């Protein structure tokens, strides 16, 4: 008895062949010249009249033959697809990660959906923002973000100072240089916040996605290994359509 994965493997080729046959048939029956024929013979009015050879054109395309060709191709397609779809109604498997069953009796079609979604989720998780490793971070529940310890920095202000290079005399004024001195005015207390995630958290999430991806693939292979019952739908459908 064939397996579902074998039916899936041949379905694409059957579908391509059937559609090509249908396309060719459609093009052929549009060519009026190929569907028509003629047979002409000539008889002169009397025995002494000019004799002309008969003329004929054969019919090259017969609609009933085209219908039979299309029917044969579509019967195979209808039966193959029906066999797959009927089998999919009972082809199921469990998704198991590290011995834990995440979901039970998942249909093969849904497993295929999950597999595609997990590709997008892997991309999403891989691009999650990560906390700057050069900083020390702790989770701050009140702010619901990560925060660094407070860092104290002094705020200074440049205050002008005078430096007397030479005292004033009767003949000359004092020689004074002006310079600026940084004088502490206060203290800044700075805490940095971030909505990013620790690298460990992102790596854990990536590991889970990858394990689930593998589990879903295994489950899909198991579901598609189910035995199938060959369905014979095509002859009934096409027999009704093209009955004479």
pLDDT tens digit sequence for 206-219: 999 999 999 999 99
Report residue 147's pLDDT band, with 50, 70 and 90 as the boundaries. very high
Same domain, 21 and 71: yes
Q: Residue 99 pLDDT > 90, yes or no?
A: yes
For residue 178, which of 198, 192, 158 has the smallest C-alpha distance? 158
**Range of the structural domain that residue 168 is part of:** 150-190
Alpha helices by DSSP H, 89-173: 108-126
pLDDT of residue 232: 92
* Residue 145 within a domain: no
Q: How does the average pLDDT of the chain come out, rounded?
A: 91
Same domain, 84 and 53: yes
Same domain, 216 and 107: yes
pLDDT of residue 121: 97
Q: Residue 184 pLDDT > 90, yes or no?
A: no
How large is the average pLDDT for residues 7-20? Answer: 92
Report the alpha-carbon distance of residue 153 to residue 149 in Å, rounded.
Answer: 13
Same domain, 238 and 176: no
């Amino acid at each position: 008895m064939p397996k579902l994965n074998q039916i899936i493997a041949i379905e694409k080729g059957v579908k391509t062949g059937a559609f090509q046959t249908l396309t060719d048939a459609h093009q052929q029956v549009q060519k009026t010249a190929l569907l028509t024929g003629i047979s002409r013979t000539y008889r002169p009015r009397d025995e002494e009249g000019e004799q002309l050879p008969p003329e004929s054109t054969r019919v090259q395309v017969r609609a009933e033959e085209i219908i039979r060709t299309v029917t044969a191709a579509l019967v195979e397609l209808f039966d193959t697809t029906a066999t797959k779809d009927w089998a999919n109604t009972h082809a199921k498997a469990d998704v198991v990660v590290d011995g834990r069953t995440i979901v039970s009796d998942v249909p093969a079609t849904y497993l295929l959906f999950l597999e595609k979604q997990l590709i997008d989720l892997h991309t999403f998780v891989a691009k999650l923002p990560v906390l700057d490793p050069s900083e020390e971070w702790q989770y701050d529940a009140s702010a619901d973000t990560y925060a660094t310890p407070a860092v104290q920095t002094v705020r200074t202000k440049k205050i002008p100072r005078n430096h007397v290079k030479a005292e004033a005399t009767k003949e000359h004024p004092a020689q004074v240089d002006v310079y600026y001195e940084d004088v502490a005015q206060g203290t800044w207390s700075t805490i940095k916040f971030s909505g990013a995630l620790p690298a460990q958290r992102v790596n854990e999430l990536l590991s889970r996605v990858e394990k689930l991806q593998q589990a879903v693939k295994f489950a899909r292979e198991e579901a598609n290994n189910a035995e199938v019952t060959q369905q014979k739908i095509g002859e009934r459908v096409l027999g009704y359509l093209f009955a004479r």
